[in-house]
Chains A and B, each alone.
Chain A
């Protein structure tokens, strides 16, 4: 049973199933597939398969990495007579960057050349990286996330779930700026803020797209921005009169129609009033401090534009684990690119005769056999 759980056969079945499920998400509802029990079960099985496979292979791998010439496995075949001389074998090892060990048994000397230990380790490092990424992904699910819209100069209570997970109580936005490159194109948006706990300020910083604020398990991302208009609205009813932060480009209802506010340059706003049928009946431009008398005795006083920043607050420790897995996966990828593993045992008889044993696969084995002038008759060419 354990053999099957750690087998490549099961790995193949699970990889194919995961691929099939991911494809099926294109046809069916994406969220349903990836949060469904069958998908999570397959990921769980994949984790177990990878873990048992990695654990079962470790002792053999360690032995293979530590061994000397006399430990070459039987499968590597018997020593075969070579036409190469000791000098040419040594030159070959040096040219192809083999690490060489020498040993002696009676009159017979042995050379053991190995290279590609890192590529040999690479698939196992990649497996370990995937295991860490899966663990990190599970941990990420315990994290919390929330969005805030805060105008420049305002202070707001942080969303409840962030407050519960951290010591934070409030966030104040000190400034929000659009940054431009030398060509005048938008380069980034920057929000400078201060964080408050129950006893006062606990930190400050800034966040930009691609450069989030990160401290401990807390991350603050610059997600977007928008504009509102700070106005004082006076009607004959005390209930509807008061200060408002109206959004841009949205219909605000009136008794006989509606109005829409739009930005005009950096400061001014455009007031557009429509009747019930959607016909524009009035259009006025207002600077901050200016006001308008509306129908039915209503009045609108424009105070100032309110640029608000959209921030995403995230708290959790899963990302660190996932990133550790990512770093390991990238490392394994580079290790895979470093070539292929090969070990060569060379027996040097006192008569000067040279015999060679190979532990390599595929074309690498053929190439070694050719270079070391042996007629390789073993069947480890796969």
Chain B
């Protein structure tokens, strides 16, 4: 008997790999078109799975790490489509597709069962909190990929351009992180009676915010290109630890994620 749900869950991973392969040759028009098609399909599959899960749950699928990652995959596929047309740099497409593939592989390893939401999660704050977290993480992932390219190249006009993009994305990501922290704190006050409990997820979300705040302040102080890129990479390492590391290594109030 074919497990259709599991089969559907493999689609984002397969399509991310296809996008990476086609993206590697995306300097050529045919390969670029192919990469765009696979990325569009990847987005549609990720969004489709989310719709199906939403129908099963009877609400927006936002209450587990798996759902969060599926949202991330969908948004990152959209970014890939945008960057394929805008930047025309195969390496960026390949790196971003690899990031999606890693995320999609992790999604596959998770329990796909739809579980009823705990009463504490049944709050209007859930949507704003999780969606702002997801959007900030996706924006910061793209910024990280651009910084990764910057540190592997000699400083030139291209790195200047990538640096400006990476900066603008952090400029977008930090306010979203702020919204995530603020809405999370307000929600925690209503649900747990305390807006800040020094839970590990909270601590590391704060560390993430501080690192990106540092990035922006150092840019005002003149940090550009490789210097700024290294700090941006460190920021993303903190994002990854906050999402995966804390969930696996430091359980707390957010351990259902």
Q: Contacts A22-B207, A186-B119, A319-B189 given; indicate if A15 touches B213 (C-beta within 8 A).
A: yes
1/0 per position for A1-45, CB-CB distance to B under 8 A? 000000011011001101100110110001100100000000000
The verdict on A358 contacting chain B, using a C-beta distance below 8 Å, is: no
Q: Which residues of B contact A223 (CB under 8 A)?
A: 192-193
Q: Which residues of B contact A137 (CB under 8 A)?
A: 196
Are A188 and B193 within 8 A (Cβ)?
Answer: no
Contact of B210 among A18, A187, A212, A363 (CB under 8 A): A18
**Interface size class of chain A, counting residues whose CB lies under 8 Å from the partner chain:** 35 or more
The verdict on A209 contacting chain B, using a C-beta distance below 8 Å, is: yes
Are A11 and B217 within 8 A (Cβ)?
Answer: yes
Are A30 and B203 within 8 A (Cβ)?
Answer: yes
Q: Considering the complex, which residues of chain A in the window 325-372 have a beta carbon less than 8 Å from any beta carbon of chain B?
A: 326, 329-330, 332-334, 336-337, 362-363
Q: How far is the CB of B84 from chain A (nearest CB, A)?
A: 21
The verdict on A185 contacting chain B, using a C-beta distance below 8 Å, is: yes
Are A15 and B210 within 8 A (Cβ)?
Answer: yes
Chain A, Cβ-Cβ closest to B186: A326
Chain A, Cβ-Cβ closest to B115: A185
Q: How far is the CB of A57 from chain B (nearest CB, A)?
A: 12
Stretch at the interface among B85-93, B146-154, B175-183: B175-183
Q: Which residues of B contact A382 (CB under 8 A)?
A: 222, 224
Q: Which residues of A contact B125 (CB under 8 A)?
A: 210
Q: How far is the CB of A36 from chain B (nearest CB, A)?
A: 13
The verdict on A230 contacting chain B, using a C-beta distance below 8 Å, is: no
Q: How far is the CB of B197 from chain A (nearest CB, A)?
A: 10
Q: Which residues of B contact A375 (CB under 8 A)?
A: none
Are B176 and A333 within 8 A (Cβ)?
Answer: yes
Q: Considering the complex, which residues of chain B in the window 141-196 have a beta carbon less than 8 Å from any beta carbon of chain A?
A: 164, 171-172, 174-176, 178-179, 182-183, 185-187, 189-193, 195-196
Contact of A19 among B172, B179, B214 (CB under 8 A): B214
Chain A, Cβ-Cβ closest to B128: A330
Q: How far is the CB of A361 from chain B (nearest CB, A)?
A: 10
The verdict on A97 contacting chain B, using a C-beta distance below 8 Å, is: no
Q: Contacts A333-B175, A333-B179 given; indicate if A209 touches B185 (C-beta within 8 A).
A: no
Q: Contacts A209-B119, A209-B191 given; indicate if A337 touches B175 (C-beta within 8 A).
A: yes
Q: Which residues of B contact A336 (CB under 8 A)?
A: 171, 174-175
Chain B, Cβ-Cβ closest to A311: B193
Are B221 and A34 within 8 A (Cβ)?
Answer: no
The verdict on B122 contacting chain A, using a C-beta distance below 8 Å, is: yes
Are B186 and A323 within 8 A (Cβ)?
Answer: yes
Tell me the bound Cα distance from A58 to B204 in angstroms.
32
Are A212 and B211 within 8 A (Cβ)?
Answer: no
Tell me the bound Cα distance from A221 to B197 in angstroms.
15
Are A34 and B190 within 8 A (Cβ)?
Answer: no
The verdict on A219 contacting chain B, using a C-beta distance below 8 Å, is: yes
Chain B, Cβ-Cβ closest to A7: B221
Tell me the bound Cα distance from A207 to B141 in angstroms.
40
Are A22 and B203 within 8 A (Cβ)?
Answer: yes
Q: Contacts A210-B119, A330-B182 given; indicate if A25 touches B203 (C-beta within 8 A).
A: yes
Are B217 and A12 within 8 A (Cβ)?
Answer: yes
Q: Considering the complex, which residues of chain A in the window 204-228 have a beta carbon less than 8 Å from any beta carbon of chain B?
A: 209-212, 219, 221, 223
The verdict on A183 contacting chain B, using a C-beta distance below 8 Å, is: yes
Q: Which residues of B contact A185 (CB under 8 A)?
A: 116-117
The verdict on A322 contacting chain B, using a C-beta distance below 8 Å, is: yes
Tell me the bound Cα distance from A338 to B200 in angstroms.
32
**Interface size class of chain B, counting residues whose CB lies under 8 Å from the partner chain:** 35 or more
Are B221 and A12 within 8 A (Cβ)?
Answer: yes
The verdict on A314 contacting chain B, using a C-beta distance below 8 Å, is: yes
Tell me the bound Cα distance from A221 to B213 in angstroms.
34
Chain B, Cβ-Cβ closest to A318: B195
The verdict on A312 contacting chain B, using a C-beta distance below 8 Å, is: yes
Chain A, Cβ-Cβ closest to B199: A30
Q: How far is the CB of A147 from chain B (nearest CB, A)?
A: 10
1/0 per position for B86-129, CB-CB distance to A under 8 A? 00000000000000000000000000000011011011010000
Are B179 and A330 within 8 A (Cβ)?
Answer: yes
Tell me the bound Cα distance from A187 to B123 in angstroms.
11
Chain A, Cβ-Cβ closest to B124: A210
Q: Which residues of A contact B186 (CB under 8 A)?
A: 323, 326
Q: Considering the complex, which residues of chain B in the window 206-235 have a beta carbon less than 8 Å from any beta carbon of chain A?
A: 206-207, 210-211, 213-214, 217-218, 220-222, 224
The verdict on B250 contacting chain A, using a C-beta distance below 8 Å, is: yes
Are B198 and A362 within 8 A (Cβ)?
Answer: no
Are B122 and A314 within 8 A (Cβ)?
Answer: no
The verdict on B58 contacting chain A, using a C-beta distance below 8 Å, is: yes
Q: Which residues of A contact B190 (CB under 8 A)?
A: 210-212
Tell me the bound Cα distance from A83 to B122 in angstroms.
60
Are B193 and A312 within 8 A (Cβ)?
Answer: yes
Q: Which residues of A contact B175 (CB under 8 A)?
A: 332-334, 336-337
Tell me the bound Cα distance from A274 to B179 in angstroms.
55
Q: Which residues of B contact A306 (CB under 8 A)?
A: none
Q: Contacts A12-B214, A22-B207, A30-B203 given; indicate if A314 touches B176 (C-beta within 8 A).
A: no
Could you list 23 examples of A-B contacts with CB < 8 Å? A8-B221, A12-B217, A15-B210, A15-B213, A15-B217, A16-B210, A18-B210, A19-B214, A23-B207, A25-B203, A34-B198, A209-B119, A210-B125, A210-B187, A221-B192, A221-B193, A312-B193, A322-B195, A330-B183, A332-B175, A333-B174, A336-B175, A337-B172
The 3 A-B pairs at the shortest CB distance, nearest first, are namely A333-B175, A185-B116, A221-B193
**Supplied contacts A137-B196, A145-B193, A336-B174, 6 more A-B pairs, CB within 8 Å:** A8-B221, A30-B198, A34-B198, A183-B58, A210-B125, A322-B185
